[in-house]
């Protein structure tokens, strides 16, 4: 059987994840709060009348497409976290960078989701990735120190339970699903196609995450293009601000 060439680098997967995230948040901030604003009920639901303008049908079509594409982002970011942790020269700095941008992004995340600077109900996804990165520190230590297979597996399970509980306590996006997915992607990094098991926890959130499977199978294992190291971090809070401003402008124009 002819082997499928693996052509997607880590850099390419980052861009795909970024575009997916942009689609997801454009749905929330631009389409729902912008284009659909005149048709929103008091409970926040959208009620499109029968005699709605033709352009609104096109916007609804875009919304449905973006809704599907938006589910690619988180699984790809978790996979890239496991890859980044495995290959980075400075794991401590990698974690601290994630945590710093999680803290910086939180007010902007709250403003986008709750239209206020604070929002204790849910923390941004970078907190999930930061927790997952800490989890990988522990798993890596177990991997190197625990020689007995049974003991090692027991410690892996215990670690996943502890960090899953921590994700619940912090109320970060995807909670234990994210930390468990990160653990599987890391521990199965040399397992070939079985590494796709990292997607399984996220199926609870959406079956559309399976669309990531072919992308991960095409991953070359190479970093790809260098440069723009902090661009993807800065993009996270920046895109929330820009999309929110655009959504408000559209809502005002249609009012």
Written in H, E and C, the secondary structure of 49-103 is: CCCCCHHHHHHHHHHHHHHHHHHHHHHHHHHHHHHHHHHCCCHHHHHHHHHHHHH
pLDDT of res. 116: 86
CB 136 within 8 Å of CB 182: yes
d(CA 144, CA 137): 11
User: What local confidence, expressed as pLDDT, does residue 160 receive?
Assistant: 97
- The reported pTM is 0.92
Residue range 119-127: mean pLDDT, rounded: 88
Within the chain, what is the greatest distance between any pair of CA atoms? Answer: 69
Residue 5 has pLDDT above 70, yes or no: no
Mean pLDDT of the chain: 91
Cα 12 from Cα 112, distance rounded (Å): 27
pLDDT value at residue 1: 44
pLDDT average, residue stretch 74-100: 96
Element (H, E) at 165: helix 149-170
Please give the Cα distance from 161 to 159 (Å, whole number): 5
- Place 184 in a pLDDT band, splitting at 50, 70 and 90: very high
pLDDT given at position 43: 62
| pLDDT band at residue 44 under the 50/70/90 scheme | low
Rounded to whole angstroms, the Cα distance separating 20 from 67 reads 9
Kindly indicate the confidence band of residue 181, based on its pLDDT and cuts at 50, 70 and 90.
Answer: very high
Closest CA to 187 of 156, 214, 230, 159: 156
**Sequence-distant (≥ 6) Cβ neighbours of residue 44 within 8 angstroms:** none
Tell me how far apart the terminal alpha carbons of the chain are, to the nearest angstrom. Answer: 59
Per-residue model confidence (pLDDT) at position 119: 73
Return left, alpha or beta for 2; rule: phi > 0 is left, psi -120 to 50 is alpha, else beta: beta
Report how far residue 118's alpha carbon sits from residue 88's, in angstroms, rounded to the nearest whole number: 33
Structure tokens at 54: 């033709």
């Amino acid at each position: 059987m002819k082997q499928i060439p693996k052509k997607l680098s880590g850099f390419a997967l980052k861009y795909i994840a970024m575009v997916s995230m942009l689609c997801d948040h454009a749905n929330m901030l631009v389409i729902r709060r912008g284009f659909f604003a005149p048709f929103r009920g008091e409970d926040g639901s959208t009620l499109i009348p029968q005699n709605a303008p033709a352009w609104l049908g096109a916007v609804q079509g875009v919304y449905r497409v973006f809704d599907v594409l938006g589910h690619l982002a988180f699984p790809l970011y978790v996979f890239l976290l496991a890859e980044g942790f495995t290959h980075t020269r400075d794991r401590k700095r990698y974690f601290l960078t994630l945590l710093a941008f999680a803290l910086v992004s939180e007010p902007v995340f709250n403003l986008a989701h709750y239209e206020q600077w604070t929002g204790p109900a849910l923390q941004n996804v970078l907190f999930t990735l930061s927790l997952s990165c800490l989890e990988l520190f522990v798993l890596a230590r177990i991997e190197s120190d625990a020689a007995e297979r049974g003991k090692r597996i027991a410690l892996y399970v215990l670690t996943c339970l502890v960090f899953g509980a921590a994700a619940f306590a912090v109320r970060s996006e995807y909670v234990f699903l994210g930390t468990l997915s990160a653990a599987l992607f890391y521990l199965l990094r040399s397992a070939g196609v079985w590494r796709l098991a990292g997607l399984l926890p996220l199926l609870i959130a959406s079956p559309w995450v399976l669309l990531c499977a072919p992308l991960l199978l095409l991953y070359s294992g190479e970093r790809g293009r260098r440069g723009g190291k902090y661009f993807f971090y800065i993009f996270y809070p920046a895109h929330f601000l820009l999309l929110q401003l655009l959504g408000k402008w559209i809502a005002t124009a249609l009012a």
